[in-house]
Structure 1
Amino acid sequence: MRSVESIGALRVGQSVEQVQNELVNSVVVENISASKESIILSLSDQVRKYMNQHIAIDSESVRFMSDNVMDASIGRGQQIRSIVNVQQINNVRYINKYLIKVNKALPDAGIYVGCVESTSNRKRNLFKRKTQFLCHLIWLFNFIIHRVWPKVPSLRKLYFFITKGKYRWLTIAEVLGRVVSCGFEIIEFKEIEGKVYFVIMKTSEVFSIKQPSYAPVFAMQRVGKHGKMIKVYKIRTMHPYSEYLQDYVIRLNGYNAQGKPANDFRLTRWGQFFRKYWFDELPQIINVLKGNMNIVGVRPLSQTRFNELPEDVQKKRILFKPGCIPPYVALNMPDNEQNIEAERIYMNEKHRSPILTDFRYFFKALYNILSGRISSS
């Protein structure tokens, strides 16, 4: 390490302030190196191996952190390409602000590795140690305190005042949705030793913090008549920030037989129940009253899904309003390919006889739903 005496050895053209800055940077770099080595040694072989699959953890361009404070020393005195934080993100009070600071500290295509103890991890750990009845009581209490309370606007400040933002209950879907909303792309996530480690890459700058809706009823952007985007209302069946993961989930797992994202980890348990019996579609009555949807009609699709349809279906679709009850329900054709064919059949019939077609399809769909022959997902 340089001594303070080196300040007196000014090179030509250097001021005292410049030499002082060099000394500070040198001290910071040496302290970071020592800290980094101790952090790496504290990691298990499995975690180190996982990280090395994505970054060279011994490289000088990788900065390790053992806390959740993004201070001014990040990036000082060295060229940072990657940041690794071994502390779980559950203890960050302002997660989005923290992620935006990480975003600013990284160059384009820079890598960040973090971890979270998800709610499912905590539940498994809880149920390992206690009797089932007691576990359910403790789980319910903690769910209300740590999951419901902070989502209520009038109580949120009090919750964070008491907890200081630590020990937060976070689902994997919420964490991954947050990182995407803060300008990152998900490379991979994996559960290791009771924590979920995630590797993300900076893809864009972020200048504002996006706030999700926690309301039980929310609006989604969908393609309506004449190709106009409309807000379609549904009961929330997914975790917060799930809307940012639509493309990622499709890229990861593709579509299921019903033409919806397969193996969708964004769904809550009660969301799966609601979807099975179509309860999540009930708020679309608002759309019917507003006049941008019908009771029966082609399914309202996202722009991404709409663009994947055959061109002839796209052209016909925008001639009709979308509906609460899609044609495949009435025709019992839930398979993805059959779904498209069901819409072709419906649109041809509706073109010839609009009112009678909707009337027939409504009662056919009602029978299929009540008899359990078909479900929403």
Structure 2
Amino acid sequence: MIFMTRIQRVILSVMVDITVVFVSFILVLWLKPGAGMLYFSDYLAALGIFIMIWVGLSAVLGKYRRIQSNKLKDLLVPVVLSGLASLGAVAILMYLFRAEGYSRFIVFGTIAVATLFDLILSNMVYYVRRSVVIGESVEREYRGLGRTEDAARLHVLPEMETGLEESEVKEYIRSTILEESGEEAFHFLNRHALLNDRKTLILATTSLFNVESKKPGTYHTIINLRRINDIRRMNKFFEAVNSQLPSGGIFIGCAETKDMRKQRIFRKFITPFNYLFYYFIDFPVKRVFPKFGITKSIYFFLTKGNNRVITRAETLGRLVSCGFRIREEAFVGPLFYFVCQKNGQPVYDMHPSYGPFVRLRRIGRDGKIIKVLKMRTMHPYAEYLQEYIYEKNNLENGGKFREDFRISTQGRIMRKFWIDELPMLYNWFRGELKLVGVRPISEHYFSLYRSEVQGKRIRYKPGLIPPFYADLPETLDEIQNSEIRYLEAYDRHPLLTDWKYFWKAFYNILFRKARSR
């Protein structure tokens, strides 16, 4: 393990700053119209002076003191201030010394680009620190809470005035659901719940109060006809429903998924206005703004938390994290409906995995848990669905989950070109991974392995380049056999084995287009 002292962190930050300024200078020279790189030698002395100004002002303004802060504002404000101060200092020096021979484009462009790079790096540092250790809360839920068997037909019902005939109750419920949700939704709900039972509560609400105000244990099924997209504190709402239901109770709800929303917008506007509205207004505001601390406040100011964009994976993942097991899901009319069953208490995940980086719990050497850093390729809360995906779809060729809807569009692109695995170099530098070795896998996936393979696996560090890319196995058994062959060869000739597997994997990746899905 590598632990850095405060002085070492400051030295590293200064070195990064110097690199940022130098790279910014080269980039601006390259962008300058004409033969920009010819200026390189003429500006070297001035660049050295500027680097001293940049580092000195950064130190004075506290940029290096706040590098350990977990607040985004503490990281970004000193960057902006040091950039502005450097701009002012350089402008004054150029005026005092009549430095008219220096290009304003190169000088001020270098400051602007360096400040931009610094802001990007500060954001990355912030989100790496906030990256969730995926697996801890999920494992806690499954390990500690136990499961309940499927109930047969569950008894479900709304609050109705007494004295009404049964036929009147049925007609009232039917007409209410038809008016609120439509005929398709009524038939779906009628198949999964006894709509006229007195232990059914049917709501059309986005208010947490309307759930919490009920007496716990009164109802065995709760149905909400309103989309969860309009619920401001979604998890709190699900947690409240969980607290109202007995073990095995049923919760039925609906959502408009991201893809359904996109289809609705494309139908609503004519081409090309539908593309312009979706990609330049709706997508940035609804999908990009909520992901970053600096724009999240703008998002909530504009939307008040209503009409949120949510994916199918996030919907189901949130439900599982709140103590439910998914029993049924279906696209009904314009909405996505889910039927879930209470099988435990909520996890109360205080750090949902929304950022661009995640830390994955993986089995390391001697069976110890290591936290592997990767770029996010799955939708938020998707980590809670691993067991559900396995039960529903099992594994496909290559040992991946079949039809894994948890992976986002950009995630598929990142996986195809291994962009998501670049942060794992951090674990390599820490000594938790080696260059060639068995793939670092989750505890759930590890449990699918044969016991003899498990025993061999944990004797070694996992690797960045697994034997999978050398042998290209398809089934889980073939993957295990491939790893056994590698480990046995590694036992006999460690360096030679890694050398051979590295170049074989390199060939398959480059010429046979071996890719991660």
Per the shorter chain, which TM-score range? 0.7 to 0.9
Kept in 1, the 8 Å contact 2:217–2:244? The answer is no
- After TM superposition, the structure 1 = structure 2 runs for residues 117-136 of structure 1, keeping only pairs within 5 Å, are 117-136=256-275
Counterpart for residue 22 of structure 1? none
Counterpart for residue 423 of structure 2? 283
Long gaps (5+) in structure 2: 1-158
Of residues 182, 192, 196 in structure 2, which corresponds to 1:58? 196
CA distance in 2, matches of 1:334, 1:286: 29
SS state at 2:309 partner: coil
**Which segment drifts farther, 43-52 or 223-232?**
43-52
Counterpart for residue 245 of structure 2? 106
CA distance in 2, matches of 1:133, 1:372: 39
Runs of 4+ that moved beyond 6 A = 31-35
- After TM superposition, the structure 1 = structure 2 runs for residues 315-326 of structure 1, keeping only pairs within 5 Å, are 315-326=455-466
CA distance in 1, matches of 2:273, 2:216: 53
Q: Deviations over 1:233-274 (max 9, x none)?
A: 111111111111111111110111111111000111111111
Of residues 338, 344, 358 in structure 2, which corresponds to 1:198? 338
- State the Cα distance separating 1:35 from its structure 2 match: 7.5
- State the Cα distance separating 1:38 from its structure 2 match: 4.6
SS state at 1:107 partner: coil
Of residues 56, 62, 68 in structure 1, which corresponds to 2:206? 68
CA distance in 1, matches of 2:478, 2:347: 44
Counterpart for residue 49 of structure 1? 187
- State the Cα distance separating 1:336 from its structure 2 match: 3.0
Kept in 1, the 8 Å contact 2:467–2:483? The answer is yes
Counterpart for residue 85 of structure 1? 224
- After TM superposition, the structure 1 = structure 2 runs for residues 270-349 of structure 1, keeping only pairs within 5 Å, are 270-349=410-489
Of residues 325, 328, 351 in structure 1, which corresponds to 2:491? 351
Counterpart for residue 369 of structure 1? 509
- State the Cα distance separating 1:77 from its structure 2 match: 10
- State the Cα distance separating 1:211 from its structure 2 match: 2.8
CA distance in 1, matches of 2:403, 2:216: 45
CA distance in 2, matches of 1:93, 1:194: 21
Identity of aligned residues (%): 37
Q: Deviations over 1:288-317 (max 9, x none)?
A: 111111111111111111111111111100
- After TM superposition, the structure 1 = structure 2 runs for residues 148-167 of structure 1, keeping only pairs within 5 Å, are 148-167=288-307
**Which segment drifts farther, 326-335 or 352-361?**
326-335
Kept in 1, the 8 Å contact 2:217–2:246? The answer is no
SS state at 2:453 partner: helix
SS state at 1:86 partner: strand
Kept in 2, the 8 Å contact 1:39–1:66? The answer is no
TM-score (norm 1): 0.87
Distance 1:268 1:164, change over 3 A: same
Long gaps (5+) in structure 1: 1-27
1:96 counterpart letter in structure 2: N
More helix by share: 2
Of residues 386, 399, 413 in structure 2, which corresponds to 1:259? 399
SS state at 2:326 partner: strand
Residue-pair matches, total:
350
CA distance in 2, matches of 1:206, 1:333: 38
Kept in 2, the 8 Å contact 1:234–1:281? The answer is yes
Counterpart for residue 39 of structure 1? 176
RMSD (Å), alpha carbons: 2.2
- State the Cα distance separating 1:49 from its structure 2 match: 2.1
Distance 1:348 1:100, change over 3 A: same
Counterpart for residue 139 of structure 1? 278
CA distance in 2, matches of 1:338, 1:237: 26
Distance 1:338 1:77, change over 3 A: closer
Kept in 1, the 8 Å contact 2:289–2:298? The answer is no
SS state at 1:188 partner: strand
Structure 1 position 30 matched with structure 2 position 168: no
SS state at 1:109 partner: coil
SS state at 1:30 partner: coil
SS state at 2:341 partner: strand
Q: Deviations over 1:105-125 (max 9, x none)?
A: 111111111100011001112
- State the Cα distance separating 1:92 from its structure 2 match: 0.6
SS state at 2:371 partner: strand
TM-score (norm 2): 0.64
Q: Deviations over 1:99-140 (max 9, x none)?
A: 111111111111111100011001112223434432222111
Kept in 2, the 8 Å contact 1:276–1:376? The answer is yes
CA distance in 2, matches of 1:201, 1:41: 24
- State the Cα distance separating 1:196 from its structure 2 match: 0.1
CA distance in 2, matches of 1:63, 1:166: 24
Distance 1:132 1:259, change over 3 A: farther
SS state at 1:84 partner: strand
CA distance in 1, matches of 2:321, 2:185: 26
